[in-house]
Amino acid sequence: MQATKNFRTYFFRGMAALLPTILTIWIFVQSYHFIQDRVSVHINRGLVWIIGWVSEGKWTHEFLTDFWVDGAGKITGFFVAVVGVVFIGAFLASVMGRTLWHMFEKMLVNIPLVKKVYPYIKQITDFFLTKQNLTFNDVVALQYPRKGVWSVGMVTGAGLKKISDSLSKEFLTVFVPTSPTPFTGYVIMTPKDETIELDMTIEEALRFTISGGVITPAEQRAFEAMSNKDENDGV
């Protein structure tokens, strides 16, 4: 009985250690295969056509296909696709590129079915891939959605002046993210004296929310301290 318990404990401990690495590798491998199978193969076929046209038939179509599409040269399409993404990113960094892309996105969100999906996918990808400064100021605890129940929220600014003047109180505007996806949540206004300022960074608050409260700031700091110790030991 004890052996079974130990087996289960060690198994889940091992999975907890290995799963983040396995999932990270799996995501990158799947991304590579998607580009290779769906994008680069068509790029390589285009290269076959261009080389055949430039060489005026000096290379046989079968030889070029065997090398560029099915052989060692097929990796070329992958790198061409990556370079293409870089050029698109550079173009979108320009004024003209941003303007054209905004026009394209505006057209997308007017399509009946696409507008139900695209904005939310964009929120997720922007959160992970773009360098955006968080507009949050502080992390606070507040009683929400009812008295006696405390939630973690991020202060985005002062409350509406009309409400503050009417009640003669200082209010805060707070974003309360939902778990496990903090991309959505609730924007509420609450009296400042009814909040508790927490000793947490914005990143720690987001980790706390995403993990469903499993990763607390203390545990995160302990993990970082252990990682730094391992790095120092390895030097």
Helix ranges restricted to H, the chain: 2-35, 41-54, 61-68, 75-92, 95-108, 118-129, 161-167, 202-210, 217-234
pLDDT of residue 114: 75
The tokens describing 134, both together, are 């968080």
Average pLDDT rounded to a whole number, residues 71-94: 72
- Is the pLDDT assigned to residue 175 strictly greater than 80? yes
Backbone phi, psi, residue 70, to 5°: -110, -15
The three-state secondary structure class of 137 is coil
**Residue 189 has what pLDDT?**
93
Of 155, 154, 189, 185, residue with least CA distance to 171: 189
Q: Residue 57 above 60 pLDDT?
A: no
* Sheet containing 139-143, strands listed edge to edge, beginning at the edge strand earlier in sequence: 185-191, 171-177, 150-158, 139-143, 195-197
Residue 48's pLDDT is 61
Q: Residue 186 in 3-state DSSP?
A: strand
Predicted local distance difference test score (pLDDT) of residue 44: 67
CB 115 within 8 A of CB 109: yes
What sign has the CA pseudo-torsion 156, 212, 119, 90? positive
C-alpha pair distances (Å), 191 with each of 38, 149, 168, 174, 228: 54, 16, 10, 10, 40
Q: How confident is the model at residue 59 (pLDDT cuts 50, 70, 90)?
A: low
Q: How many CB atoms lie within 10 A of CB 28?
A: 10
- In the chain the domains, ranked by start, together with CATH numbers, are 2-72 (no CATH), 139-228 (2.30.30)
Is residue 53 predicted with pLDDT exceeding 70? Answer: no
* 179-216 residue pLDDT tens: 877 777 889 999 999 999 998 888 888 888 888 887 77
- Here the tokens at position 147 are 């008295």
CB 119 within 8 A of CB 109: yes
Rounded CA separation 1/19 (Å): 27
What is the pLDDT at residue 140?
Answer: 94
Mean pLDDT within 90-98: 83
pLDDT at residue 9 above 90? no
* Residue located via tokens 């009946």: 112
Q: Could you give the 3-state DSSP secondary structure of residue 145?
A: coil
pLDDT of the residue at 55 = 58
- What pLDDT score does 219 carry? 56
Mean pLDDT of 20-30: 75
Per-residue pLDDT at 153 exceeds 90:
yes
Q: Which pTM was predicted?
A: 0.43
For the segment 152-158, the average pLDDT, to the nearest whole number, is 90
Please tell me the predicted confidence (pLDDT) of residue 234. 55
For the beta carbon of residue 159, count every other beta carbon within 10 angstroms: 19
Residues 6+ apart with CB under 8 A from 67: 73
